[in-house]
Amino acid sequence: MTKTSLVCYRTWNLTARLILAGVFIYAGILKMGSPLEFADTIASYKILPAFAINLVALGLPPFEIACGLLVLMGLHLRIGTLGMLGMLVVFMGAVIHALIWKLPIDCGCFGEHSWFGSSLWIALARDGVLLFLSAFVYVSQFEPRWVEKQTAPFISE
Amino acid sequence: MNVRARAILYDVMMVTLLLTGCFGCGLLINEMRNPSLPLVYLTPEHRLNDVIQEMAASGAAPTGSIEDHQLAPNSSIPIANARPPSPVASPMVELKPEYLLNDVVQAMSASSTAPVSLEPEVNLKEMHQIVTDHSALILDARPRSLFQAGHLPSAESLPRDDFKRWYQVLENQLDSHRDKAIVVYCSSHDCPDSQLVAEALRKLGYKNLRVFRGGWKEWEGANFPKAKGCGC
């Protein structure tokens, strides 16, 4: 890796990590503060049975925060980003399900009544961007050369 | 198995472990909460119904019993919880048409995602008139945080998710409107909270209830005057 591409790679990686960590920690804290509202949001997707809704509403926010902290601190980065990847795949599946069945709901991604409440299409696009970022960070842990190749067009020697 | 596949497998196992730990933490934190979230989910309708039953049992419902107020004034539609004596207990009892309609409405509301309105509705123009004239008590059924961020002028907060607490705060004011008009609203056409709160109030003996279905979204969209803060 050349010096410039290494700087570029590190900048991209750090930016992606900060965005991912910020979003997941913020979302986790909001949901953790109002588990009942989060449970109502999960129920509105009509995917999970009643016995699993509250369990997910209680367990998912700490997982979001834990993954966010791992990615922020750079500790066990692969585990943190893989956790995020898994969550984002599940979130996108839920949003697509709601879109297919035309459920009249907001995504509830940042708690039911937060200022980030948005339509399902915006939520899907946002999840797509986050999925790309987390995949980028995860793969970059294995393949620094792949990242170097991807970021090459943006490097001005 | 090559090194990379083994690394991915290790990551998956560690993520599973982390997930299990986080679920354990979540349950532990929940145990420390007051009140804690029950492990089995109850719908908002069930929760509100439980609160109303509890209030009725403890004597918080000031006058009349729940069964005294089954039909909405100025409306031919019975409310969802106005049920006849159990047909199992007395199989020879013939169900009245309004009860059959009631069952149909309940079935519709159970199968449809959009809330079914069972209270007389108020449109935007009428709502604007009510606000201007101060001719009714206006109640905001949205969560308290949204009420504080912006609400209809002279509206009071009676959030669906914390009904008992705010009902007690507003009790005197509500009592003075027992036979006068009360209008309830929430976020938009899609939210069921206004309907749920109106039904809860009807069960507690309030008679002249209306629902502004367009809610805050319609009011805000029309650029009508707004108020902010808690109003306390």
Per-residue confidence at B57, pLDDT binned at 50, 70, 90?
confident
Q: Which two tokens mark B36?
A: 């804690």
What string of pLDDT tens digits covers the 157 residues of chain A? 666 777 777 888 899 999 999 999 999 999 998 898 899 889 989 999 999 999 999 999 999 999 999 999 998 899 999 999 999 999 999 999 999 988 877 777 776 555 555 688 888 999 999 999 999 999 888 765 655 565 566 555 4
Q: How confident is the model over B56-70, as a mean pLDDT?
A: 54
d(CA A59, CA A81): 18
The answer to whether A1 and A140 have CB atoms below 8 angstroms apart is: no
pLDDT of residue A152: 60
Across the interface, of B14, B30, B113, the residue whose CB is closest to A104 is B113
B22, B43, B146 member nearest A66 (Cβ): B22
Is A33 touching B (CB cutoff 8 A)?
A: no
Name residue, tokens 């039904």: B199
Percentage of chain B lying above the pLDDT 70 cut:
72
**How is chain A split into domains, by residue range?**
3-151
Strands B137-140 and B209-212: unpaired
A35/B contact by beta carbon, under 8 A = yes
**Which of A129, A134, A146, A140 minimizes the C-alpha distance to A17?**
A134
pLDDT, tens only, B177-195: 777 889 999 988 878 889 9
pLDDT value of position A146: 57
Work out the mean pLDDT of chain B and round it to a whole number. 76
Cα dist. B163→A8, A45, B42, B46 in Å?
A: 54, 24, 16, 13
**pLDDT at res. A78:** 92
Q: Which residue has the higher pLDDT, B232 or B109?
A: B232
Does A98 touch chain B if contact means CB atoms closer than 8 Å?
no
Mean pLDDT (whole number) for B47-59: 83
